[in-house]
Chains A and B, each alone.
Chain A
Amino acid sequence: AAGVIQSPRHLIKEKRETATLKCYPIPRHDTVYWYQQGPGQDPQFLISFYEKMQSDKGSIPDRFSAQQFSDYHSELNMSSLELGDSALYFCASSFGRGYEQYFGPGTRLTVT
């Protein structure tokens, strides 16, 4: 069965650079979620989109922005990167809000 696809899987950036993470949800899933998991920490919810509109917002820094496109894929844009942004970034998708979330393999971002 098709799963959530995230790209790139690994990304190395320097401080103050920008990064764009992409997420392709499971076909027919209309809701996308972004989570950040720092080393040794629990996943933290960042933001979600339902039918291309932002639906919930968590602890997402102002330096980050995200959107969901007409084909339901989503992109997380991160600017002015800081060392503390180094983490695993997971995207999840679901069919509608309030349903089981399927997580992707994650993008490991390293900021040097």
Chain B
Amino acid sequence: LAKTTQPVSMDSYEGQEVNITCSHNNIATNDYITWYQQFPSQGPRFIIQGYKTKVTNEVASLFIPADRKSSTLSLPRVSLSDTAVYYCLADNAGNMLTFGGGTRLMVKP
């Protein structure tokens, strides 16, 4: 189980692109990188998952360099409703998720 490190908090403004970087220096070969979003008093919600290079879906992009020791979640054109805590996980896909030290994103008008 790779330990992840990400910023405690970030501020942004509506319409901007937000990039949240996560460090996972001891990631294992069979670990995937997964990002979850959590609003207050709600369950976490899956955003995106990747193993290497770049993955894009309708809400975000995930960039993973060749050494896989870090990853960057990119949220294009954020809105107020994107204010949430974002968790980076680096472990075996699914199974027991280990959440630790997410990034609290505040989007301002």
Interface residues of A (CB under 8 A from B): 4, 33, 35, 42-45, 48, 55-56, 58, 88, 90, 92, 94, 97-106, 108
Which residue numbers of B lie inside 8 Å of A, CB to CB? 38, 41-46, 49, 87, 92-102
Judge whether B42 and A33 touch: CB under 8 Å: no
Knowing that A102-B46, A103-B45, A106-B43 are A-B contacts, what are 17 other residue pairs whose CB atoms are under 8 Å apart, sorted by A's residue number?
Answer: A42-B101, A42-B102, A43-B97, A44-B99, A45-B98, A48-B96, A55-B95, A56-B96, A58-B96, A97-B94, A97-B95, A98-B95, A99-B93, A99-B94, A100-B46, A100-B94, A105-B43
Q: Chain B contacts of A92 at CB under 8 A?
A: 43, 97
Task: Kindly list chain B residues whose C-beta atoms are within 8 Å of the C-beta of A90.
Answer: 43-44
Residues of chain A within 8 A (CB-CB) of B101 are 42
B93–A98 CB distance below 8 A: yes
- Alpha-carbon distance between A106 and B44 when the two chains are bound, in angstroms: 10
Please name the residue on chain A nearest to B93 by beta carbon.
A98
* Min distance, Cβ B28 to any Cβ of chain A, angstroms: 14
Q: Which residue of B lies closest to A58 (CB)?
A: B96
